[in-house]
Amino acid sequence: MQICILSVGKIKEKFYQEALAEYAKRLNAYVQLEILEVDDEPCPEHYSAADKERVLQLEAKRLSRHLRQRDGLVLLDILGKELTSEKWSQQYQELCGRGFGRLVFIVGGSLGVHSEIRARSDFRWSFGPLTLPHALARVVLLEQLYRGIRIQRGEPYHK
């Protein structure tokens, strides 16, 4: 399976980069993994609804440049479905069986994602009601992908 992690913003902290590299290495044994980052759009600290819409539109254009017609989109969304690791493994298996050319996991910017991206998503996944820094959310995403694949294959994974 081809998997693409498509994120708004760059990871600057070395410890996050190292964690992402470790899980990417582990995942590469099971999937073709691509990690892409698009620039986030600067936004004033105190922004209006029009400012937010402008930022989200510009970031959506950057994200859309990397999307293909046959992609299955999984959007990380605080309003998405919360799943245990076992249920995520089942959901991943179901998504893999839908004939997508690849699965693209989208991590939006600090203001979220534009409604066009949300509408195009095939599954919206929440890590729960807490707010995570985007870099940490990406580490959790890769870890849960790895864990879900191991569960699906009946392979051991530490608890």
Find out whether 73 is annotated in a ligand binding site.
Answer: no
Q: Burial-class residue 152 by CB neighbours within 10 Å (0-12, 13-18, 19+).
A: middle
Find out whether 130 is annotated in a ligand binding site.
Answer: yes
Find out whether 108 is annotated in a ligand binding site.
Answer: yes
Find out whether 36 is annotated in a ligand binding site.
Answer: no
Find out whether 84 is annotated in a ligand binding site.
Answer: no
Asked if residues 100 and 70 have their Cβ atoms less than 8 Å apart, the reply is yes
Find out whether 132 is annotated in a ligand binding site.
Answer: yes
Find out whether 6 is annotated in a ligand binding site.
Answer: no
Query: What CA–CA distance (Å, rounded) separates 18 from 22?
Result: 6
Find out whether 76 is annotated in a ligand binding site.
Answer: yes
Instruction: Report CA 118 to chain centroid distance, whole Å.
Output: 12
28: CB partners within 8 A, 6+ apart:
none
Strands 123-126 and 102-107: unpaired
Please state the residue numbers annotated as binding site for S-adenosyl-L-methionine: 76, 108, 127-132
Residues that constitute the known binding site: 76, 108, 127-132
